[in-house]
């Protein structure tokens, strides 16, 4: 299957549709289904996998480690450091622990999960240390708004940022006002988290009708909306292979001007600046 890609500032292309893993690895009864879901996603080219030390306090990273065992080279692996660990030494130590849980020697992208008590300059310096040591290939941020991004670009090495992962979906379009255009201008991808609003969008009857009219599933329509934007990567979480397969179909949805207008009517774009929302 041809995978749509998004270009990192380094020039490297990564899958535009990946796999989220929050709340995976927590329940042993779901273990086999979750491993199968992640592996099916890799088979379908959705080989950007997003995890974090926070998810299940390491349980998600351990699950991902198991799913990618023997297939590490196929995967663009993303993890995140807790803000309370994001000091100069704490970031390096947290990364070492994540690598161990993931059973790998390197991360493809390491993100600051959200802004905390440590200055951005300190975390960036730690990221650069990790990069020089070959422990991470790229670093980025998460939940940073437009003014945070401006501040980041002003700290030493801050312009090395490779991505900003933020909440973005049909029902959370605030970033279209300022952050998304700013990121597009910088040439730094946005990673859209909770792209189906943690399944809430899938229950919207009006969206279901629109999806049916276009012969696609609601999840496919919601994901196609996100993927229609330049420089945006979507990372839906799906704990079952059938849901992963459904999501992969989003890449085949043709988003016409008529469909964009219909989606705008259901979920209007922002008319003013709003604070960045988080889940
Ligand atoms: P999400 O991806 O919007 O929604 C996940 C939910 O949707 C799950 O209940 C899943 O069910 C269901 N689902 C997915 N595809 C489906 C389909 N085709 N049909 C029916 N149900 C479907 O929410 P999310 O997990 O919050 O966000 C995605 C990822 O973004 C996370 O897993 C995490 O990696 C990342 N994230 C990052 C942050 C941050 O602060 N940086 C915050 C939140 C999330 P099943 O599991 O049963 O398949």
**Ligand 1 pocket check for 195: Cβ under 6 Å:** yes
Mean pLDDT of the chain: 98
14: closest CA among 199, 274, 232, 256?
Answer: 232
pLDDT at 20 over 80: yes
* 243-252 average pLDDT score: 98
Q: What is the CATH number of domain 12-266?
A: 3.20.20.100
Question: What would the pLDDT profile of 214-247 be if each residue is shown by its tens digit?
Answer: 999 999 999 999 999 999 999 999 999 999 999 9
- Ligand 1 nearest-atom number relative to CA 236: 2
* 106-113 average pLDDT score: 98
Percent of all residues in the chain with a pLDDT value above 90, rounded to a whole number: 99
Whose alpha carbon is nearest atom 37 of ligand 1? 193
Q: How far, in Å, from the CA of 193 to the mean position of ligand 1?
A: 8
* 184-212 average pLDDT score: 98
Whose alpha carbon is nearest atom 12 of ligand 1? 199
Q: How far, in Å, from the CA of 122 to the mean position of ligand 1?
A: 31
Question: What would the pLDDT profile of 79-95 be if each residue is shown by its tens digit?
Answer: 999 999 999 999 999 99
CB neighbourhood size of 35 (10 A): 18
**Ligand 1 pocket check for 249: Cβ under 6 Å:** no
Task: Parse the chain into domains and list their residue ranges.
Answer: 12-266
The pLDDT value given to residue 177: 98
Q: What is the pTM assigned to this prediction?
A: 0.98
Q: How far, in Å, from the CA of 20 to the mean position of ligand 1?
A: 6
**Ligand 1 pocket check for 143: Cβ under 6 Å:** yes
* 33-47 average pLDDT score: 98
The pLDDT value given to residue 152: 98
Question: What would the pLDDT profile of 112-147 be if each residue is shown by its tens digit?
Answer: 999 999 999 999 999 999 999 999 999 999 999 999
**Ligand 1 pocket check for 199: Cβ under 6 Å:** yes
CB neighbourhood size of 32 (10 A): 9
* 101-109 average pLDDT score: 98
Active site (annotated) includes residue 110: no
Determine the Cα–Cα distance for residues 143 and 279; give it in Å rounded to an integer.
9
Best mutation site among 110, 179, 238, 277 for ligand 1, i.e. most ligand atoms within 8 A of its Cβ? 238
- Ligand 1 nearest-atom number relative to CA 193: 30
The pLDDT value given to residue 2: 63
**Ligand 1 pocket check for 220: Cβ under 6 Å:** no
């Amino acid at each position: 299957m041809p995978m749509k890609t998004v270009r990192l500032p380094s020039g490297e292309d990564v899958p535009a549709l990946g796999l989220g893993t929050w709340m995976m690895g927590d329940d042993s009864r779901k273990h086999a289904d979750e491993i199968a879901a992640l592996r099916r996603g890799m088979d379908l080219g959705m080989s950007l996998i997003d995890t974090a030390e926070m998810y299940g306090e390491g349980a998600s990273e351990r699950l991902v480690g198991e799913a990618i065992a023997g297939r590490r080279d196929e995967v663009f692996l993303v993890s995140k450091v807790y803000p309370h660990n994001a000091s100069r030494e704490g970031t390096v130590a947290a990364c070492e622990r994540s690598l161990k849980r993931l059973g790998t020697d390197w991360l493809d992208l390491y993100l600051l999960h959200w802004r905390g008590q440590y200055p951005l300059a300190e975390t960036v310096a730690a990221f650069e240390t990790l990069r020089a040591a070959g422990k991470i290939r790229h670093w980025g941020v998460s939940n940073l708004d437009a003014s945070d991004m401006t501040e980041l670009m002003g700290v030493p090495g801050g312009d090395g940022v490779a991505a900003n992962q933020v909440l973005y979906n049909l029902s959370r379009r605030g970033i279209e006002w300022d952050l998304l255009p700013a990121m597009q201008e910088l040439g730094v991808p946005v990673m859209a988290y909770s792209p189906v609003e943690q399944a809430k969008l899938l229950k919207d009857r009006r969206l279901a009708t629109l999806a049916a009219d276009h012969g696609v599933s609601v999840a496919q329509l919601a994901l196609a909306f996100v993927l229609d934007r330049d420089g945006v990567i979507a990372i839906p979480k799906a704990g079952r292979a059938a849901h992963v397969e459904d999501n992969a179909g989003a890449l085949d949805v043709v988003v016409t001007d008529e469909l964009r207008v219909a989606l705008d009517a259901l979920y209007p774009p922002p008319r003013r600046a709003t604070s960045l929302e988080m889940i």
